[in-house]
């Protein structure tokens, strides 16, 4: 079923955490710039710089709605916090969250815009490698209603500081409280060579933590804690019909 909404209304936010991985971001921006103009008008892109060494200096090659926010404290493995910040900055009903090395092809993006989505369903994607080989479903890449996300409590920031398992506890919450739909014919492209380099991926601590969290969830005692436990600013915003970006005008100290 197709949407009959206003052609120029922003319908979808697409958001990614970013950390010291300019090649992946440059390729994402190139892909977004290749989206047809009517499609780009319906999307707002959000990049959350999770405390990288240097501020993002890349600029889009085509007009688009793009917000670049920066977490100003470098917290190790702060992906849960970055995802929560992206959702807090989103002003659309629907949000597509992903990792920077997973790409949403133009055909898949158009389908995601067109389909009639239900708030009680969280939508997941099958993936293919660049060579076309199917690589399964990556639970960190999904489309979700903004209010559903916050009703689930958002991402659990207790997992920040150590690698892994934050996507799994969020997926457990989705399965417990929502319906899950995996698209059969809507694919992402997984570019394994663009994963963020030089990152220590030891997950012993978070593996213990998720056992504790899952036990609480099973007992009905799981409770999420406060989110956005870090300072942040909006670094740059681009608007589709504005020639010049707006820089640095809002942050956590003004919330």
Does 166 fall in a domain?
Answer: yes
Buried residues in 136-159 as b, exposed as e (16+ CB within 10 A): eebbbbbbbbbebbeebbbbbbbb
pLDDT tens string 207-230: 999 999 999 999 999 988 899 999
* Domain hosting residue 155, numbered range: 12-254
pLDDT in tens, 155-197: 999 999 998 999 999 999 999 999 999 999 889 999 977 776 6
- State residue 247's pLDDT score: 84
Residue 192 lies in a domain: yes
- CATH label of the domain that carries residue 128: 3.90.550.10
117, two tokens: 């989505």
pLDDT classification of 97: cutoffs 50, 70, 90 = very high
C-alpha to C-alpha distance for 248 and 20, rounded to whole angstroms: 20
For residue 202, is it within any domain? yes
């Amino acid at each position: 079923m197709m949407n009959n909404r206003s052609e120029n209304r922003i319908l979808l936010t697409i958001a990614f955490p970013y950390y010291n991985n300019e090649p992946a971001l440059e390729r994402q921006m190139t892909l977004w710039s290749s989206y047809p103009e009517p499609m780009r008008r319906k999307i707002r892109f959000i990049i959350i710089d999770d405390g990288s060494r240097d501020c993002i200096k890349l600029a889009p090659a085509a007009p688009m709605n793009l917000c670049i926010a920066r977490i100003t404290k470098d917290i190790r493995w702060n992906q849960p916090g970055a995802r929560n910040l992206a959702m807090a900055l989103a002003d659309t009903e629907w949000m597509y969250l992903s990792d920077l090395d997973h790409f949403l092809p133009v055909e898949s993006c158009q389908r995601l815009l067109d389909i009639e989505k239900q708030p009680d369903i969280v939508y997941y994607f099958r993936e293919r490698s660049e060579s076309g080989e199917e690589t399964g479903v990556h639970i960190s890449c999904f489309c979700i209603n903004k209010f559903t996300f916050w009703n689930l409590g958002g991402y659990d920031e207790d997992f920040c500081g150590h690698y892994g398992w934050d996507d799994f506890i969020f997926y457990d919450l989705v399965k417990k409280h929502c319906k899950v739909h995996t698209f059969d014919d809507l694919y992402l492209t997984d570019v394994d060579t663009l994963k963020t380099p030089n990152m220590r991926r030891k997950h012993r601590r978070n593996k213990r933590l998720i056992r504790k969290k899952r036990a609480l969830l099973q007992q009905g005692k799981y409770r999420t804690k406060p989110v956005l436990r870090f300072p942040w600013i909006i670094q740059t915003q681009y608007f589709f019909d504005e020639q010049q970006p707006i820089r640095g005008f809002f942050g956590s100290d003004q919330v």
